[in-house]
Amino acid sequence: MALRKFKPTTPGQRNKMLNAFDEITASTPEKSLVVGKNKSGGRNNRGKMTMRYIGGGHKKRFRFVDFRRDKDGIPGTVKTIEYDPNRSARIALVVYADGEKRYILAPNGLQVGQTVVSGENATPDIGNTMFLSKVPLGTIVHNVELKPGQGGKMARSAGTYAQLMSRDGKYAILKLPSGETRMVLVTCRATIGSASNPDHMHVVSGKAGRSRWLGRRPRTRPVVMNPVDHPMGGGEGRASGGHPRSRKGLPAKGYKTRSKKKASSQFIVERRKK
């Protein structure tokens, strides 16, 4: 994983840093695992705009990614490492011994030709999927299930991971990079290693046009709106806008919005650090 720096030959090239895509081995996706993807432009089924600042962007095709990794005991060979426009991490095409092809979330360090396997008898090697009851303590994992058989939900974006700290009865204790510690059932699965493309956080677009290619339209700052449009709008001259708050009046920047009655709170041992 590496980044490309550009010489400031134009204003758009100045400070631009992009992925070098060194790990990508194929540019055309597997046809049987791809389907067309429609854009909503931020509109709902009645054509009404429900999300602002969405529209345009390059056409994408959706890749079916196997987050469940439930093909137990059948070894698969990594054929390609590919770019997926729908996520920040890379994906890998795996061809199993019985001939089936699946895309999986590629962990950091996965190589073409490597064999991956999942299930009860899998070993704690990069790319293998195991039950948390079998993962050695201290191991870095990603694509962690929150409910058995549901498929990975946690630590799926580029460079993310969780560390298995201990086991307590039917729960495994996982620590996340944010500092949060939470319990997950030991019957849930997780994939060994951290998610690929850890340099994604250092990417600098360089120009507004790159955001338009990603489907993001220009965002209007609340302080330049009128009072009818936003609580922070209005005022004479360059008014600061008062207390930062959302369009609906909820305080921002420090105000906790998490529900105190949220069911998953019982599984959080220690909240993330401020």
Question: With contact defined as beta carbons under 8 Å apart, do 103 and 92 qualify?
Answer: yes
Rounded Cα–Cα distance for residues 64 and 34 (Å): 6
Rounded Cα–Cα distance for residues 62 and 41 (Å): 17
The angle formed by the CA atoms of residues 55, 246 and 210, to the nearest 5 degrees, is 30
Burial class (CB in 10 A: 0-12, 13-18, 19+), 51: exposed
Give me the residues of the chain with pLDDT under 70, please.
1, 274
Burial class (CB in 10 A: 0-12, 13-18, 19+), 218: exposed
Report pLDDT for 240.
80
Residue 254 lies in a domain: no
For the record, the structure tokens of 31 come out as 């046809």
Q: Which residues have CB under 8 Å from 156's CB, separation 6+?
A: 67, 87, 89, 105, 142, 143, 195
Q: On the CB side of 84, how many CA atoms lie within 13 Å of its CA?
A: 27
Q: How far is CA 19 from CA 3, 7, 88, 170, 196, in A?
A: 5, 15, 11, 41, 12
DSSP at 194: -
Q: Which residues have CB under 8 Å from 271's CB, separation 6+?
A: 180
Residue 242 lies in a domain: no
Rounded Cα–Cα distance for residues 156 and 150 (Å): 14
Report pLDDT for 10.
96
Q: Quote the domain boundaries for residue 57.
A: 3-201+264-270
Q: What is the pLDDT of residues 170-206, one digit of tens each?
A: 999 999 999 999 999 999 999 999 999 999 999 999 9
Residue 86 lies in a domain: yes
Q: Which residues have CB under 8 Å from 10's CB, separation 6+?
A: none
Report pLDDT for 1.
60
Q: What is the pLDDT of residues 148-179, one digit of tens each?
A: 999 999 999 999 999 999 999 999 999 999 99
Residue 230 lies in a domain: no
From the centroid of its chain, how far is CA 233?
A: 33
Which residues lie across from 167 on neighbouring strands? Answer: 172
Residue 66 lies in a domain: yes
Phi/psi class of residue 21: alpha, beta or left (left: φ > 0; alpha: ψ in -120 to 50)?
left
From the centroid of its chain, how far is CA 90?
A: 10
Rounded Cα–Cα distance for residues 163 and 70 (Å): 22
CA gyration radius, the chain = 22
Question: With contact defined as beta carbons under 8 Å apart, do 169 and 261 qualify?
Answer: no
Report the domain count for the chain: 1
Residue 56 lies in a domain: yes
Residue 116 lies in a domain: yes
Residue 147 lies in a domain: yes
Read off the CATH number of the domain in which 29 is found.
2.40.50.140
